[in-house]
Amino acid sequence: MSLKKLVFLGSKPIGYECFAYLIEQKEALNIEITGLLTRSRKEFGDAHDLTVLAANHNIPVINGLDNLPACDILYSVQYHEIIKQEHIDKARQLALNLHMAPLPEYRGANQFSFAIIDRKTDFGVTIHKIDAYIDHGDILFQKRFAIPENCWVNDLYQLTFNASIHLFRATLSDVVNGNYTPVPQDKLEKKFGTSLHFRKEMDALRLIDLTWSKEKIERHIRATSMPGFEPPYCLVDGKKVYLTTLNP
């Protein structure tokens, strides 16, 4: 089997965990990691610094998408920039992304919150081809799981985090060796529906209207109470009053 050159794009703890596993498996899979693109995220601490991990293994850190080298595989895990066709074309074999949500239902951002708002009973993680549209490419692998009753957003995130690591590890050999059957997302839209969400939508989700039903208020609180982010709130005389709980 010929040596495959792979460039990794990623950030956050999930990107770190996947990158670390990729390094661990590179000899067994006969791959050379020829570059890393990432963004420093100090809120996650030094324990999840991808640049330090790359330096420890003599992997070059690439400065921006426009400096991408040609490679066989371009693998993205929570990378923060939109990947354009000119970047996709750098990958001779495959450009793919691990998306922490089921597709085609939840493209874009804030998928955990919207799944709770939408009263979904199942969720998942998807590995798909990258194309010129957001989270739109053919599905290569997917893992779905049940959402616990009255689930909080941070709990759903952790379930998805664990499922993401498992799916990344379980499919890495198949990704490298081309053992997959792409499924176009439009074939699944009738069954699952589809949506595309953006980060700016969270501002509206956090605003609680106290005239809502008790169930709707509680659901929006569960969907938007994420540690490290602004909590849900209501407006009293034009001022924000944050809604929190001692036992999330």
Given a cut of 60, is residue 41 above it in pLDDT?
A: no
pLDDT one-digit tens code per residue, 170-228 = 999 999 999 999 999 999 999 999 999 998 999 999 999 999 999 999 999 999 999 88
Distance of CA 86 to the CA centre of its chain: 22
Structural tokens at position 96: 């793919």
> Has domain 4-196 been given CATH number 2.60.40.10?
no
pLDDT of 248 reads: 47
User: Is the model's pLDDT at 81 over the cut of 90?
Assistant: no
Using omega within 30 degrees of 0 as the cis cutoff, is the peptide bond preceding 104 cis? yes
DSSP string, 139-202: EEEEEEEEPPTT--HHHHHHHHHHHHHHHHHHHHHHHHHT----B-GGGTHHHH---EE-GGGH
pTM of model > 0.95 = no
**The pLDDT value given to residue 46:** 63
Q: Which residue type occupies 219?
A: R
Across the range 118-139, mean pLDDT stands at: 96
111: pLDDT strictly greater than 60:
yes
Domain ranges across the chain = 4-196, 201-242
Residues 13-33 pLDDT 10s: 999 999 999 999 999 999 999
Task: Give the pLDDT confidence score for residue 125 in this predicted structure.
Answer: 98
